[in-house]
Structure 1
Amino acid sequence: MISKTKRIARSAAVAVAATAALTMIAPVGSAFAIDHIPCRGGEPFLKIWSHLGGRSSVDCYANGGRTDFGGWWVDRIYTGNNDLIYYDANGDSVRINRWTDITFPNRPPKVNAIEIV
């Protein structure tokens, strides 16, 4: 009976040690969850004016992360306090620094995804 108890205790100790070792070795990453939020005037969030097939939209986003943008044509971007990367339909990625207000009056990019970095 004593040897069985020792084996169980030893197995539990090994399991705890292995879990602790993996926890210390594995990098702890930040969870990113970009959020589509209501647009409000004067707020420093990412704001994008876009259109697709006769429909137009104004969308605001907060928090870091990446999300699908559905191939909409972007007319204007205000980054607010966010650095942005947009991924266009040509396969290019374009970085826009925070506090930038940019318009695309003649050749708007068709954007597949956006990322707040």
Structure 2
Amino acid sequence: MISKTKKAARSVGVAFAAAATLTLAVPAGDAFAIDHVECRGGENFLKIWSHSDGRDSVDCYANRGRTDFGGWWVDKISTGNNDLIYYDENGDSVKIERWHDITFPNRPPKVTAIEIL
């Protein structure tokens, strides 16, 4: 017959093991991931016009998170309903608030990463 003390100790051990397993299995904080999405009229996505090596691109993004931008030169940004930070090749970070359109006609930044807040 198992004593009450041993039974209680075993219960505490099982509860601790279950808590440890859940802690390791569930990521800390909010699980958000930035998504590259299809640009569609009427949507309020982050929209970036850029160029690199003779190629032009228009890309749209949704959801909070950070992603690599590959060092493309950015010509225009429309933030839509997103607050944005872009990280340039010089190590600077620039925050642009939602609902802003910015054009870089003379000296476009070379962007290494973008982050939707």
Same structural fold, with TM-score higher than 0.5 when normalized by the shorter chain = yes
Show the counterpart of 1:10: 9
Whole-angstrom CA distance in 2 between matches of 1:113 and 1:28: 23
In the TM superposition, what whole-angstrom CA distance separates every residue of 1:34-66 from its partner, at most 9, and x where no partner exists?
Answer: 000000012101000000000010000000000
TM-score by length of 2: 0.85
- Map 1:1-117 to 2 at 5 A: 2-3=1-2, 7=6, 10-17=9-16, 19=19, 29-117=29-117
Gaps of 5+ in 1: none
Report the secondary structure of 1:11's partner residue.
helix
73-82 or 6-15, which deviates more: 6-15
Q: Which amino acid aligns with 1:78?
A: S
% identical equivalent positions: 71
Summarize the Cα distance change of 1:4–1:55 in structure 2 as closer, same or farther, 3 Å threshold: farther
Q: CA deviation at 1:4?
A: 8.2
Total equivalences in the alignment:
112
Q: Which amino acid aligns with 2:50?
A: S
Q: CA deviation at 1:7?
A: 3.8
Whole-angstrom CA distance in 2 between matches of 1:16 and 1:101: 53
Whole-angstrom CA distance in 1 between matches of 2:75 and 2:82: 18
Report the secondary structure of 2:76's partner residue.
strand
TM-score by length of 1: 0.85
Q: Which amino acid aligns with 1:110?
A: K
Report the secondary structure of 1:67's partner residue.
strand
